[in-house]
Structure 1
């Protein structure tokens, strides 16, 4: 029997993710330096801003996922999320303080939360179960093309604008606006069920219908996220080892290149191999990355660690989305993705706050040693559960 084709809407969402990540990563690749060098903020402040922003995104994902289930439509919230993200971009070049950057990041991440759960639920809605791993892997891979294209563009723009970070930030607005157009013309909701098949509106109490399989996946996601703090710390580590400020976005280029090349094959492999095996290999890659970043001497070793960080992302991120989709009833998928992202976001807040405080108090090495320790504990727990 022939393998079904990946639906048009999944491809459209992939291109939307590509251009939004292109816009976001032009900014993100330079934001740690903008905060610490231009605005004089501490590394703990960088970690707090990233952690608070990601937690805000996760909280809004709960609301948007539940609302998309209740409405029976995903596209309106997806459009709202990408539209708000585009409107938040001008706040970055206009920022004169860390507080303004926090506000911009807050708006941008709320926008991400509004679109994230409905988008993932829509992918699950329109994709046959036997190719869901490929579908989530494809969207993740295209997202990551933007993820390495954005920092690469930032390097060229820094040269063009003589290291004027604010000027580079202004350019990032264009791809974000293009995303809104692509959602309008390229994304379609899943067909509505027939009148006799239409389920009752989702209520908050229905969350109790999410079974042990879903909560098990959520628990795994929490432990994973505690072991993986913001990529801003990778940028700061590389510049601390001698990478010129103008080339700092190359850190995210390297990470995203490995991530992008690996995401789709990892998703396809997840359709045929046990999920826990891939999750375990992802954790092994993260432990190795933390070891190189903690004790590596020189930029070559640091970039090897950054590449392993990207390999970890490729092996785990699309896979977790597939596991959530498989574990949740179709009418509760939006709510399930929202709850999963809430739990992961709170864990990301804790991880980034602790990482920033450790960096300021004990140095960069302590931050990556702690990350490797959490990853090792997660790997041991995964092996125990498998046994």
Structure 2
């Protein structure tokens, strides 16, 4: 019997994510420079990004629950990706701060609307024994966009230095193609869930109380990790601190994303074969190696090796974590469960970078990376002792 793991729906969603990430990552390296040019202070940039990410994080649980409640996935996916695509050219319309806040927030709100529904749609296309590879394939395609986006930005800025506003218009092209592709999606009809109580914007707090014990034990560990897993900016700052150039630092970021993209699907296959818990723990150990290595490495070959390991870590954890959550929650709650997790994760991420930045400022980079590595090692013990691996029967390979 032939098993088709990567279905048409998975392909379409993966291509949509690739194009959307390409559009976003085209702008990621230049966003701070553009905002400074139009008059944003560092404080205002931080406020803008913090508010945008908070809105995305807080909305994921709400829209995930709405998707489960209505029994629909595709409309949320279509609206979410449309908001993100439209936000790109809106950034170039005018430089008024309130308008820029509106456009940036629209982008992140789009992410909040689509995340739970999209991941539930991916989960519906797989069985418990094949979910890790499906999520891994999606992450692989998504991250290819993160490779192509910055590379295109570097090429564009080489020929047209400083012309940032035009980039926002160009970024709409892959975003528009992503919108078109979402109309190829078809979903299996699901009955709407009866729900007598009003679904509030902060519904994910209530779901946390209602969720299965296995879900809470897993997500507690994932959220502790999110709280210490600060922005990749700190890794790039460490590269610059060692005396490497801006081009080398950006090159390291692109290299990391390339490794992540190439390894995500194989790690997903591996997780389906030996278990999502084992592969996830391997990923955490790789993360420990990277952060411990950042304390002592000061050469380009050393940093290349660490970013290679860092790409493997991301491949072994991000898609695998969502597959793990999908395997321990009912299919009628998948969008809510993933939306709740990613919502809390966003809140932790908001705290992680300021916390790491404060430790770095007060005690130095070595202490910041050392505390992260040591805490992750303790977290491995938590997962081994308190979080059970999901049990299911595998399929033929």
Output the CA distance in 2 between the equivalents of 1:382 and 1:240. 34
What does residue 261 of structure 2 align with? 260
Q: State the SS of the aligned residue for 1:297.
A: coil
Output the CA distance in 2 between the equivalents of 1:36 and 1:304. 33
Q: CA RMSD in A?
A: 3.0
Change (3 A) 1:361 1:216: same
User: In the TM superposition, what is the alpha-carbon distance from 1:307 to its structure 2 partner?
Assistant: 2.5
- Which residue, 188, 191, 195 being the options, matches 2:189? 191
What does residue 347 of structure 1 align with? 348
Output the CA distance in 1 between the equivalents of 2:46 and 2:377. 22
User: In the TM superposition, what is the alpha-carbon distance from 1:331 to its structure 2 partner?
Assistant: 1.2
Output the CA distance in 1 between the equivalents of 2:152 and 2:119. 27
Output the CA distance in 2 between the equivalents of 1:221 and 1:163. 40
User: In the TM superposition, what is the alpha-carbon distance from 1:258 to its structure 2 partner?
Assistant: 1.1
Q: Which of 113-122 and 172-181 deviates more?
A: 172-181
User: In the TM superposition, what is the alpha-carbon distance from 1:332 to its structure 2 partner?
Assistant: 1.3
Confirm whether residue 200 of structure 1 aligns to residue 194 of structure 2. yes
What does residue 131 of structure 1 align with? 130
- TM-score when scaled to structure 1? 0.87
Output the CA distance in 1 between the equivalents of 2:238 and 2:342. 27
Change (3 A) 1:209 1:355: closer
What does residue 75 of structure 2 align with? 76
Output the CA distance in 2 between the equivalents of 1:316 and 1:11. 21
User: In the TM superposition, what is the alpha-carbon distance from 1:370 to its structure 2 partner?
Assistant: 3.6
Q: Which of 2-11 and 295-304 deviates more?
A: 295-304
Change (3 A) 1:123 1:368: same
Change (3 A) 1:239 1:87: farther
Confirm whether residue 275 of structure 1 aligns to residue 269 of structure 2. no
User: In the TM superposition, what is the alpha-carbon distance from 1:106 to its structure 2 partner?
Assistant: 3.0
Output the CA distance in 2 between the equivalents of 1:365 and 1:113. 35
After superposition, give the CA deviation of every residue in 1:134-173 in whole Å (9 maximum; x if it has no partner). Answer: 2111111100111111111122112121354444344222
Retained in 2: the 8 A contact 1:32–1:232?
no
Change (3 A) 1:285 1:103: farther
Confirm whether residue 381 of structure 1 aligns to residue 379 of structure 2. no
Retained in 2: the 8 A contact 1:51–1:350?
no
What does residue 148 of structure 1 align with? 147
Q: State the SS of the aligned residue for 1:90.
A: helix
User: In the TM superposition, what is the alpha-carbon distance from 1:240 to its structure 2 partner?
Assistant: 4.2
Output the CA distance in 2 between the equivalents of 1:382 and 1:130. 21
What does residue 7 of structure 1 align with? 7
Confirm whether residue 287 of structure 1 aligns to residue 281 of structure 2. no
Change (3 A) 1:295 1:88: farther
User: In the TM superposition, what is the alpha-carbon distance from 1:209 to its structure 2 partner?
Assistant: 5.0
Q: Which of 126-135 and 74-83 deviates more?
A: 126-135
Q: Which of 45-54 and 233-242 deviates more?
A: 45-54
After superposition, give the CA deviation of every residue in 1:210-261 in whole Å (9 maximum; x if it has no partner). Answer: 3112112211210221221122333433344445445654233111111111
Change (3 A) 1:131 1:179: same
Change (3 A) 1:155 1:350: same
After superposition, give the CA deviation of every residue in 1:106-158 in whole Å (9 maximum; x if it has no partner). Answer: 33222111100000011112333332122111111100111111111122112
User: In the TM superposition, what is the alpha-carbon distance from 1:374 to its structure 2 partner?
Assistant: 3.1
User: In the TM superposition, what is the alpha-carbon distance from 1:189 to its structure 2 partner?
Assistant: 2.0
Change (3 A) 1:177 1:238: farther
Change (3 A) 1:349 1:265: same
What does residue 318 of structure 1 align with? 319
Q: Which runs of 5+ in 2 are unaligned?
A: 389-397
- TM-score when scaled to structure 2? 0.85
Q: Which runs of 5+ in 1 are unaligned?
A: none
Output the CA distance in 2 between the equivalents of 1:300 and 1:39. 38
What does residue 394 of structure 2 align with? none
What does residue 252 of structure 2 align with? 251
Retained in 2: the 8 A contact 1:70–1:202?
no
Q: State the SS of the aligned residue for 2:280.
A: helix
Output the CA distance in 2 between the equivalents of 1:325 and 1:372. 28
What does residue 62 of structure 1 align with? 61
What does residue 24 of structure 1 align with? 24
Q: State the SS of the aligned residue for 1:200.
A: coil
User: How many residues are treated as equivalent by the alignment?
Assistant: 381
What does residue 171 of structure 1 align with? 170
User: In the TM superposition, what is the alpha-carbon distance from 1:11 to its structure 2 partner?
Assistant: 0.7
Output the CA distance in 2 between the equivalents of 1:190 and 1:33. 45
Output the CA distance in 2 between the equivalents of 1:297 and 1:97. 42
